[in-house]
Amino acid sequence: MTFDYLAIWDHRDILIDGTLKTLLISAIAIPAGVCIGIFVCLLRISNRRLLRWPAIAYIEIMRNIPLLILLFMVFYALPFYGIRLSGLTTGFICLSVYGGAYFAEVFRGGVEAVPKGQFDAAKALGLKYGFYMRRVIFPQLYSYVFPPATNIALTLIKESSLLSMITVAELTYAAHDINGRTFTPVETFATIAIIYWGISIVFLNLTSRLQSRIEMDPVSQQIAIR
Amino acid sequence: MATLQNTSVHPASDAATVMVDIRHMNKWYGEFQVLKDINLRVESGEKIVICGPSGSGKSTLIRCINRLEEHQDGDIIVDGIPLTADVKNIDQIRSEVGMCFQQFNLFPHLSVMENCLLAPMSVRKTSRTEAKRLAQHYLEKVKIPDQADKYPSQLSGGQQQRVAIARALCMEPRIMLFDEPTSALDPEMISEVLDTMAELAADGMTMICVTHEMGFARKVADRVVFMDLGCIVEESDPDTFFNNPKNERTQKFLNQILQH
Amino acid sequence: MDLQFFEIIPKTGPMFIGALYTIFVGVIACGVGIIVGTALLLMRNSRFWLVRKFVGLYGSFIRGTPALVQILVFYYALTPLTGIDVGPLTAGIMAVGFNSGAYVAEILRGGLSRIPNGQWEAAEALGLSKRKIWFKIILPQVFNSTIPLLVNEFTMVIKITPLLSTITLVELTRAAQILYTETFRPVEVLLVAALVYFVICFSISQCGEYLQRRSVKYRL
């Protein structure tokens, strides 16, 4: 079996464009997902059923259907209602919305990990909800939620490859493109696998450094000691 | 000796104001009734100790006073303010009522000083300098002024609980609630907290304590309340309570608890 | 909102066949995943540095690359590599199975770390062989304690199956695509597909909770 890597090298510009697209998509979808996650989490932990149930429904739906179906629904079905979004926009929206549900669950887990007594003490002191969520609860959350949240972020980076199926020119699409020209599926797909692998290694490296920095912070250490 | 700035003497009325008035209060957790027809009046300056076996509802009772738990039936009136679902009332009541918990519940990510500053600055909009002065005053009162910059995890259990007391006092409450404040402490640290509480009592603070510390009850309480299975079974002054309890259940409980 | 479910209902036969396909592939792939995952777990404790390194790299690769890419690589590389004419079904199941295996290995590793040392010590003191200890004492406890996570992984496997449509497997998503290009009714078709996935995954997690409740008595 021969490996024809020259063919791929010739088309490296397509690969580079694809990689950059993938990174761009992730860089926008992840923070958006986090914001949605925070919002949905607050709804999810609310005492009012009217706020809680939509949040639960949203989370359960996103956790039980494949992202691909969601992408197809937004990309192929919405036009029937007059909403025609580009592949890229669809991708952003779907990734953020999909990721948001997972982030929401992680944040909820973090809130529940904070001892109930913290809420009691804050309320007994007369602190208002918004204030104590920000100043008492959230700072204690951080060390709990960071590791699982980075996993979700990494998943979103990988899931961006699905956008190739709605014509977004990210990395996987680039591979299909090159393969279509050079008929070297093994080499192209193996190459993008390596590129994705590289991205994930760099990402994990950065986040674990960030994690250590957080753990070194005296505030987190106080929380961890408890 | 600096007296605590508060509480027992309401400026506009005489010394005997009713601080907490609970009338026919009932509470259910779903189908299960946890508090049954509770009637309790606490006058200004009084120290009440509530005791009873676990599951008797004593913690639930005091948690209802500052709305950490909600009662479904009956009235609770705190310093003239009726306790209802009205958020304004709840906020007002919470600024008059201070609470200390079995697990201390200090905020671990804030220093001792910051723990004490947080509420006055946020709720009463006290300036930082004034809040610091208050905090310093109460930290001295609980005898740990030098630990102001430490974090809760660096303190012993007894120290943490005393910080919790100071933190609650910084809001200058008229009533202090204590929910088994010494139950989570190692024995050698219990007395430092009880001494602090006794001093607080001597300064005239209205106090309601749920505790198993009968020595404290005997010395400090004006009234001892015994609860069992959600009802107030007996309520009398410490002498009568410990020496001549009127109710059989009270006697049984005392026998069990005074074994050691 | 002009939803015409009645138009598509009679034609949904292929979709439900696709759903059965999805479940079939999911179950087999999950089985492969558990075997692979357990194997990786045992290999992590190997005496040979090379084996341990391999496990590490394998996990890093699988968890660091998109499932779609893994499926494509598997599909295109398996036939030339092995010389056997591996059809899309086998290649697909293998890809998903090996993918799942890496995640299962991680889950089991977490479960393993929570087994108290005392279990090993008691078993060794009783004179049991290493193999017996692993298979009779340790692994049962590991699986018992990780049921919810393993069930969740099964759900993940089901959610990966749509990607197999890219290698010509007609599972639920592909069947849905075919149907809506034929009937021009993507809204109804995709809603039905989404519903079917939801029902499958939700049922799996409900079963998982049932198993979880029953497993409690087998734990410390």
Residue A216, burial from CB neighbour count under 10 angstroms (0-12, 13-18, 19+): exposed
Tell me the pTM.
0.79
Helix (H, G, I), strand (E, B) or coil at B27: strand
Quick check: C65 and A22 in contact, CB under 8 A?
no
Domain-embedded: residue C6: no
C4 pLDDT above the threshold of 80: no
Residue C14 resides in a domain: no
Q: What is the pLDDT along chain B (260 residues), one digit of tens a residue?
A: 344 444 444 444 444 588 999 999 999 999 999 999 999 999 999 999 999 998 899 999 999 999 999 999 999 999 989 998 888 899 889 989 999 999 999 998 889 999 999 999 988 899 999 999 999 999 999 999 999 999 888 999 999 999 999 999 999 999 999 999 999 999 999 999 999 999 999 999 999 999 989 999 999 999 999 999 999 999 999 998 988 888 888 888 888 887 65
This complex has an ipTM of 0.86
Rounded Cα distance between A218 and C53, Å, is 35
Query: Any idea what the CATH number is for the domain that residue A97 is in?
Result: 1.10.3720.10
All residues at 6 or more sequence positions from A138 whose CB lies less than 8 Å from its CB, including other chains = none
Which residues fall within 8 angstroms of residue B55, CB to CB, at 6 or more apart?
B229
Please tell me if residue C191 touches chain A, with a CB cutoff of 8 Å: yes
Q: Would an 8 Å CB–CB cutoff place A147 in contact with chain C?
A: no
What is the residue range of C43's domain? 19-169
Six-digit token string for B150: 């430490």
Q: Does C78 fall in a domain? A: yes
Closest-CA distance of chain A to residue C126, Å: 38
Scanning chain B, the segments in alpha helix (DSSP H) are 58-65, 87-96, 112-123, 128-141, 157-169, 187-202, 214-220, 238-243, 248-257
Predicted confidence at residue B4, as pLDDT, reads 44
CB–CB contact B108 A223 (8 Å): yes
Query: Hey, is the C-beta of C136 within 8 angstroms of any chain A C-beta?
Result: no
pLDDT of residue C48 exceeding 80, the answer is yes
- Residue A121 has its nearest CB partner, among B101, B151, B153, at B101
Residue C117 pLDDT greater than 90, yes or no: no
- Structure tokens belonging to residue C9: 């209902």
Q: Is A115 on the interface with B (CB under 8 A)?
A: yes
Number of independent structural domains in chain A:
1
Where is B82: in which H helix or E strand?
Answer: strand B81-82
Residues written for chain A: 226
C18-40 confidence digits (pLDDT tens): 899 899 999 999 999 999 999 99
pLDDT higher than 70, residue C96? yes
pLDDT at B9: 42
Task: Classify residue C151: in a domain, yes or no.
Answer: yes
Compute CA distances C125 → B230, C132, C133, C139, whole Å: 52, 13, 11, 18
**Kind and range of the H or E run holding C57:** helix C49-64
What is the tens place of the pLDDT at every residue in A162-193? Answer: 999 998 989 999 999 888 888 888 888 999 99
Q: Is a pLDDT exceeding 70 seen at residue C220?
A: no
Does any CB of chain A come closer than 8 Å to the CB of residue C152? no
Q: Residue A220's pLDDT band (boundaries 50, 70, 90)?
A: low
Of C4, C22, C25, C73, which to mutate for an interface test with A (greatest number of A Cβ within 10 Å)?
Answer: C73
The identity of residue C107, as a single letter, is I
A207 touches chain C (CB under 8 A): no
CB-CB contact of B7 with B44 (8 Å) = yes
A71 pLDDT above the threshold of 80: yes
Residue numbers of the domain that contains A78: 5-225
The CATH number assigned to the domain holding C145 equals 1.10.3720.10
- Please report the pLDDT score of residue B140 as a whole number: 94
CA distance A33 to C116: 38
Rounded CA separation B51/B253 (Å): 9
Number of domains in chain C: 1
Residues from chain C that touch A73, judged by Cβ atoms under 8 A, are 186-187, 190-191, 194
Interface test with B, best of A114, A120, A125 (most B CBs within 10 A): A125
Do the Cβ atoms of A80 and C201 come within 8 Å?
no
Q: How many CB pairs under 8 A join A and C?
A: 112
Q: Could you report how far apart the first and last alpha carbons of chain B are, in Å?
A: 37
Residue C204 lies in a domain: no
Does C162 reach chain A within 8 Å, measured CB to CB? yes
Closest C-chain CA to A154: C64
